[in-house]
Amino acid sequence: MAAQVTPKYWRSCVLNYIKFLDSDEAMKLEIDCEAEKLNYLLLIGDAARAAEILREQGEDLEAQAVLALAESGYLNDIVKKWKD
């Protein structure tokens, strides 16, 4: 992270980027918006939305694994840094 920039600010940037990935403009780009969203949702600890994307892609076991990791607290150390 850049000096003097709070984790809360970075989290808001990530949330804005996720919103952008849902837009029509993002769909025009040559990127996999769903995969991109998945990465950032995991980064901020939104396991439920990440699992939803995985299920939509037919990746039910991966969705269950993400939810299990979140439930076990494994993602907490990463997410805690984004919520401070």
pLDDT digits (tens, 9 = 90+) for 41-70: 988 889 999 999 999 999 999 999 999 988
Structure tokens of 30?
A: 């040559």
What pLDDT is stored for residue 8 in this prediction? 83
**Model confidence pTM above 0.85:** no
Q: Which residue is associated with the tokens 């403009």? A: 25
Q: 23: Cβ–Cβ under 8 A, 6 or more apart, which residues?
A: none
Tell me the C-alpha distance between 26 and 67, whole Å: 27
Asked if the structure places residue 2 within a domain, the reply is no
Asked if the structure places residue 1 within a domain, the reply is no
Q: Which domain holds residue 77?
A: 7-83
Number of domains in the chain: 1
pLDDT digits (tens, 9 = 90+) for 7-33: 788 889 999 999 999 999 998 988 899
CA-nearest of 39, 11, 16, 41 to 26 is: 16
